[in-house]
Chains A and B, each alone.
Chain A
Amino acid sequence: MLRLVAKRLLGTASRDIPSRPLQILPRLYHENVIDHYNNPRNVGSFDKNDPNVGTGLVGAPACGDVMKLQIKIDEESGKIVDACFKTFGCGSAIASSSVATEWVKGKSMDEVLTIKNTEIAKHLSLPPVKLHCSMLAEDAIKAAVKDAEAKRAKMNATLKGADVKSG
């Protein structure tokens, strides 16, 4: 009883409602995912026919996920200067592709091929059932880079041909 009195006097006795418990409630969506959903970065489109733009379109409506990732390459340095995306999919898919566009900016095409889906998943704390969204984002990056390189190769080929012709 004296202990209780002492606690009261010192003001450390428990109040009606205990303070916030240490255990964190399990969350369905990480804050990052919700942030990317509410404030998506880099939503938009570049001109598909621009030779400096690589477009990656992956997924299928039947699976419930379609991602379109576009990258704009700087001609001389070969680096990615801008990126944008459009996604048909759940919140995690939108967040994964949004993160992908943020991470590819300013990197070279070889560097972005090393971005792994596990990194995206860790950044967004994706639960196991949503891991395929990050895989799709990685595929989208690869597809966009492949498309950009193919366009570059074609452009170089035509230039070479023109050079040879002009002699």
Chain B
Amino acid sequence: MASQFIRQTLTKTKPSTIVRRFSTAAAVASPTGYEEPTGVTMKGVKISGRPLYLDMQATTPVDPRVLDSMLPFYLSRYGNPHSRTHLYGWESETAVETARAQVAALIGASPKEIVFTSGATESNNISVKGVMHFYKEKKRHVITTQTEHKCVLDSCRHLQQEGFEVTYLPVGSDGLIDLDRLRKEIRPDTGLVSIMAVNNEIGVVQPLEEIGKICKEFNVPFHTDAAQALGKIKVDVEKWNVSLMSLSGHKIYGPKGVGALYMRRRPRIRVEPQMNGGGQERGIRSGTVPTPLVVGMGAACELAMKEMEYDEKRIKGLQERLLNGIREKIDGVVVNGSMDRRYVGNLNLSFAYVEGESLLMGLKEVAVSSGSACTSASLEPSYVLRALGVDEDMAHTSIRFGIGRFTTEEEIDKAVELTVKQVEKLREMSPLYEMVKEGIDIKQIQWAQH
């Protein structure tokens, strides 16, 4: 009797006191006490719900269809693709090879030329450092641009410390490189030209076909970081004449933690591996290939191939809606980077006389990113904007809006409304705006530095 009572008491479960709301992320391990019925509180800020996501260049949500394709490989088909002796390994390996073919199809390559890595950063490291270390006897020079992603710039800096020479090409005010300048900088001992396809901050698309032609002419390997370009613009390794290409999974609605490296076979480009081990991925990148992530990336690439055209049309409409919506209500809005040679889903705007971090503080209901100084640890504005030659005071005011497959018109309208409201409020508070209104030329003033 007593034991029965004890059993009953122990198995009685009290109802949970905090209501778990449905979230789009699977199995959220939420930190305690931050989601209350009346809203969300984090880092001292309280908002009425989750913010609108307009930061697609930072990362993208996983497409539910991609997640569906990944789950079996976590729960039932969990074998190691390198296990040769049983069914679990064989089915895993088949899945990896299918994914490889899907990725290759999207870029116009053969599956034999795709190596899976942990992300575009790793692929960039293998490309820059691996190529130069392999050819270090004969080739001592690398050409890249000033607006590259940090991982490429940091790898080049590492090479400089080892004694290689690096040329950082400047860009024009529209963000594009000067092809004649590139031609002039190529030397007999140039081992690699690395120029990204689509810039992550300003969305500018470089003239890759022309760069590929120049590299072919001088017989220099051409590497491009296509993390932001994959699945968004038409990528063709033959047309661009690339020898190496870095790809990322989580920018095309795939999982985080996976990427790929395209390595041309004819003419073959050789690299020194950065990860040593059991010789997986043809010795280029040792380590167990993460089957579920790779399957996810493959599925994402296949979806991208089918939906790229439709997405682009839709996103172009949303971008115009956003830009026109903002421009109708306020003036002094500048688009950073070329307007024609641009990926439609990236809109980097500068609002004159308003500071970026204060604008972001007021835009807590919209998740966007800024290229301003205060948001980075130092007082320097973003190096990409400075390379564009943007005036110091304008560089402090930029906001990057990222539009993607799942962005709706209502989100754009709401973002326009909130942005306009905040900019107007901050302009009221801005002494620079007041001076401009009075007719004073700000550039003529001698500022008292502190």
Contact = CB atoms under 8 A, between A and B. Distances in A.
Contacts of B372: 64
B24 interface: no
Contacts of B154: none
B323 to A, nearest CB: 24
A59 B9 contact: no
Given A60-B447, A67-B431, A5 B9 contact: yes
B45 interface: yes
A88 B447 contact: no
Given A25-B43, A34-B45, A88-B431, A62 B393 contact: yes
Given A1-B6, A136-B450, A29 B432 contact: no
B44 A29 contact: yes
A18 B32 contact: yes
Contacts of A162: none
A66 B396 CA distance: 12
B361 A34 contact: yes
Nearest to A133: B374
A15 B374 contact: no
B445 to A, nearest CB: 8
A89 B450 contact: no
Nearest to B17: A15
A152 interface: no
A37 B43 contact: no
Most buried by A among B17, B45, B358: B358
A156 to B, nearest CB: 26
A165 interface: no
B447 A15 contact: no
Given A16-B16, A59-B447, A136-B450, A66 B431 contact: yes
B18 to A, nearest CB: 5
B85 interface: no
Given A5-B9, A15-B16, A60-B447, A30 B432 contact: no
B43 A86 contact: no
B9 A8 contact: yes
A150 B10 CA distance: 80
Given A30-B44, A62-B392, A90 B18 contact: no
Contacts of B357: 90-91
Nearest to A4: B10
A94 interface: yes
Contacts of A26: 43
Contacts, number: 124
B355 interface: yes
A57 B431 contact: yes
Most buried by A among B31, B354, B447: B447
B283 interface: no
A120 B429 CA distance: 20
A65 B431 CA distance: 11
B267 interface: no
A139 B450 CA distance: 8
Contacts of B430: 86-88
A79 B161 CA distance: 61
Nearest to A87: B429
Contacts of B442: 61
Contacts of B287: none
Question: Main secondary structure on chain B at its contact with chain A?
Answer: loop
Interface in B8-44: 9-10, 12-14, 16-18, 31-33, 42-44
Contacts of B31: 25
Interface string A1-16: 1001100110000011
Most buried by A among B17, B377, B396, B449: B396
A15 B374 CA distance: 42
Interface residues of A, number: 51
Given A58-B450, A59-B447, A15 B32 contact: no
A20 B33 contact: yes
A91 B358 contact: yes
A17 B44 contact: no
A66 B433 CA distance: 11
Interface string B334-366: 000000000000000000011101100110000
A1 B450 CA distance: 68
Contact of A64 (B10, B396, B434, B450): B396
Nearest to B393: A61
B448 interface: yes
Given A17-B32, A87-B431, A89-B358, A27 B43 contact: yes
Contacts of B379: 63-64, 132
A28 B43 CA distance: 6
Contacts of A63: 379, 449-450
B273 to A, nearest CB: 39
Contact of B429 (A16, A20, A60, A94): A94
A115 interface: no
B434 A45 contact: yes
Contacts of A37: 358, 361-362
B376 to A, nearest CB: 10
Given A27-B44, A64-B355, A88-B432, 13 more contacts: A9-B9, A19-B33, A21-B32, A27-B43, A28-B44, A40-B429, A57-B431, A59-B450, A62-B447, A64-B373, A64-B374, A64-B396, A91-B358
7 contacts: A29-B361, A37-B361, A40-B429, A45-B434, A63-B449, A66-B432, A93-B355
Identify the 10 closest CB pairs spanning chains A and B, nearest first.
A61-B393, A60-B447, A90-B357, A27-B44, A68-B431, A62-B392, A86-B431, A90-B374, A91-B361, A64-B396
